[in-house]
A and B are shown apart, each in its own frame.
Chain A
Amino acid sequence: QVQLKESGPGLVQPSQTLSLTCTVSGFSLTSYSVHWVRQHSGKSLEWMGRMWSDGDTSYNSAFTSRLSISRDTSKSQVFLKMNSLQTEDTGTYYCARTTEGIVWVMDAWGQGASVTVSS
């Protein structure tokens, strides 16, 4: 059974760094990509970045150099780190899986991790 689960602090202070973990089961990180997608409260979805099966990464330029995605394949975990957090970064953060063909869809999602940026 394919599962993804996000974890991390629910509250982060402004200017600090957000660290989230996506723990997966039922598939291998060396065979699938894992994406991070953000949703502001009541708003649409925003693609943040991707960890490819070969360990390469792709990022949304909207996050410039604030965002870093890494992984530990031995623990089946993908990590998101984003620094210089502002209140606008408040939202729910999802990780999702895709294949790596030309045609792909996010076919499994985590339940989301709610993050509030506030002092």
Chain B
Amino acid sequence: DIQMTQTPSSMPASLGERVTISCRASQGISNYLNWYQQKPDGTIKPLIYYTSNLQSGVPSRFSGSGSGTDYSLTISSLEPEDFAMYYCQQYDSSPPTFGAGTKLELK
């Protein structure tokens, strides 16, 4: 299985700050990389698909980039509703696998 190493595991940040979360795959995944957000009540929603495509309805402050084994999610200016867990997920090969998550916390 492809291992997804997500960093950092937690990140204290302030409103308005620009933050970047990284995800490294154990082998190349050809941009088959999605990002999800999970709120404390367990609700999960997609943010970015295929590395850099913004899911419908997601604010433009979210963006994704990367290639090969290294990918990242950037939030350009943190809003109060952005403090949540974030997961990357690869689907280049089965089984699809997720990163361990990044908890974005209010500093």
Taking beta carbons and an 8 Å cutoff, which residues of A are in contact with B? 43-47, 58, 60-62, 92, 94, 96, 103-107, 109, 111-112
Contact = CB atoms under 8 A, between A and B. Distances in A.
A47 B55 contact: no
B87 interface: yes
A106 B46 CA distance: 7
A43 B101 CA distance: 8
B63 interface: no
B96 A44 contact: no
A103 B50 CA distance: 7
Given A103-B32, A105-B55, A47 B42 contact: no
B34 A106 contact: yes
B44 A109 contact: yes
Interface of B: 32, 34, 36, 42-46, 49-50, 55, 87, 89, 91, 94-101
Nearest to A106: B46
Nearest to A114: B42
Contact of B95 (A60, A96, A112): A60
A105 B58 CA distance: 14
A6 to B, nearest CB: 11
Contacts of A60: 94-95
B3 to A, nearest CB: 11
A91 to B, nearest CB: 11
A104 B46 CA distance: 11
Nearest to B46: A105
Nearest to B30: A102
B46 A46 contact: no
Given A94-B44, A105-B55, A47 B49 contact: no
The 10 closest A-B pairs by CB, nearest first: A105-B49, A45-B98, A60-B95, A109-B44, A47-B96, A103-B50, A44-B100, A105-B34, A105-B46, A112-B42
Contact of B46 (A43, A47, A107): A107
